[in-house]
Amino acid sequence: MSVELLLDNSAWARLGEASLSADRKEEIAAALEAGRIGVCLPFLLEAGYSARNADDHDELVEELLALPQVRIGEEVERRAVDAQRQLARAGHHRLPPVDLILAAIADRGGIGILHYDTDFDLLTAKTDLRFKSEWLAPRGKL
């Protein structure tokens, strides 16, 4: 099976929350196991940044590197900069760079993003980037 969704740190950090339904946890676990959810370098670096120590970092990165990886290319880089330009014209250019890159990867790859972050809805509304914005849970529920 191929990657259908990129994992964003906003979703990754909330997968263990008690308020996330058991059904949704099982659905995400099955998608991860099947390789339908992938990662990219910006996400890996962002997730690694949250590690508490070297051992935690090693364990975290090893776990995440087991997932399919989606690469960044020149076209993705151009699309991310262009999206930031579009956001600046709309007065919203201060979105996190990682979110811009993930959105550009998803746009170019024809895949979605699994997240818990309004930035991705803003990106689809205010730029010409097109990707499926899939919330981990309904906004405000976690």
Residue 20 lies in a domain: yes
What six digits make up the tokens of 103?
Answer: 């959105």
pLDDT digit string, tens, across residues 32-82: 999 999 999 999 999 999 899 999 999 999 999 999 999 999 999 999 999
Question: Total structural domains in the chain?
Answer: 1
Residue 11 lies in a domain: yes
Residue 140 lies in a domain: no
Q: Judge whether residue 1 has pLDDT over 70.
A: no
Could you tell me the residue range of the domain that residue 62 belongs to? 5-135
**Helix locations, 14-113, DSSP H:** 22-33, 41-49, 54-65, 74-89, 97-109
**Residue 114's beta-bridge partner residues?**
7, 134
**Left (φ > 0), alpha (ψ -120 to 50) or beta: where does 55 sit?**
alpha
Unique residue bearing structure tokens 């956001």: 87
pTM, to two decimals: 0.94
Residue 141 lies in a domain: no
Residue 114 lies in a domain: yes
Which CATH number goes with the domain that contains 114?
3.40.50.1010
